[in-house]
Structure 1
Amino acid sequence: MTVDDQAQRLQALLQPLPSSATLVPPTSRYAGVGTAVSDPDGERPVLYLQRRFVPQPDRLATLGEHVVVAGERTDHVAAAELGDPELFWRLCDGNRAVFPEDLLREPGRRLRVTSPEGIPGSPS
């Protein structure tokens, strides 16, 4: 890669995002969370994600259960149960866990596999 190619790539990264661009992928726990701009010194505005409120687990529809086996990882459970290892956060939301590793500490524990908040279904 030439110096000109590197300069062009760097320049492209520094361009503002188009208004249609999203900051996070649709499968992220932050999808749908709004953005805001902070500019306390008036010289350098900073775009940031607003706070995400964790939903109450009893408001989430249960899709199934997973029984924890010793040595499992949350990304493997999410891949097996939800089809995507990056959806581990849905296991956390459905089971009141702040730290994903807490879900798997006790072999034999039954985890709720839930839909994300706002998806129609009958919470159980």
Structure 2
Amino acid sequence: MTISPTSRYFGLETRILERPDGTKVAYLARRLVPPPERFATLGFHTVVQGERPDHVAAKHLGDPEQFWRLADANAVLRPNELTARVGSLVRVTLPEGIPGVADA
């Protein structure tokens, strides 16, 4: 199984479950969401009417499929919570583990 390096599942261990009938099923280990303090803040985005998490990710991260990074950095489990309220702030960060200027 090949997982893109930009996927939230990249680097997770592949495990095998053996069913009672002997059938083997491959699956990915559980992904634990890192605590928000492990991300260096780049800035904030103010939500406008009609925005979705993928819009914000495209604008600030250059890839709409990276919306999950915004969700992780803002401690939300459901990405749509990021843009549910017009005027709310979405924290935009570097990827986990990359220190920012204040972290260096």
TM-score (norm 2): 0.89
State which structure, 1 or 2, has the greater radius of gyration over its C-alpha atoms: 1
Letter in 2 for 1:26: P
Partner of 1:31: 10
Structure 1 residues 49-107: Cα deviation after superposition (integer angstroms, max 9, x where no partner): 00000000011111221111111011111001000000000110011111111111111
What are the equivalent positions in structure 2 for 1:33-112 lying under 5 Å apart? 33-41=12-20, 43-112=22-91
Letter in 2 for 1:46: V
Looking at structure 2, the residues matched to 26 and 79 of structure 1 have their Cα atoms a distance apart, in angstroms, of 17
Looking at structure 2, the residues matched to 53 and 117 of structure 1 have their Cα atoms a distance apart, in angstroms, of 13
Looking at structure 2, the residues matched to 116 and 33 of structure 1 have their Cα atoms a distance apart, in angstroms, of 16
RMSD between superposed Cα atoms in Å: 1.5
TM-score (norm 1): 0.75
Partner of 1:6: none
SS at match of 2:37: helix
Letter in 2 for 1:88: F
- Name stretches of at least 5 consecutive residues in structure 1 with no aligned partner: 1-16
What is the total number of aligned residue pairs between the two structures? Answer: 102
The structure with the largest strand share of the pair is 2
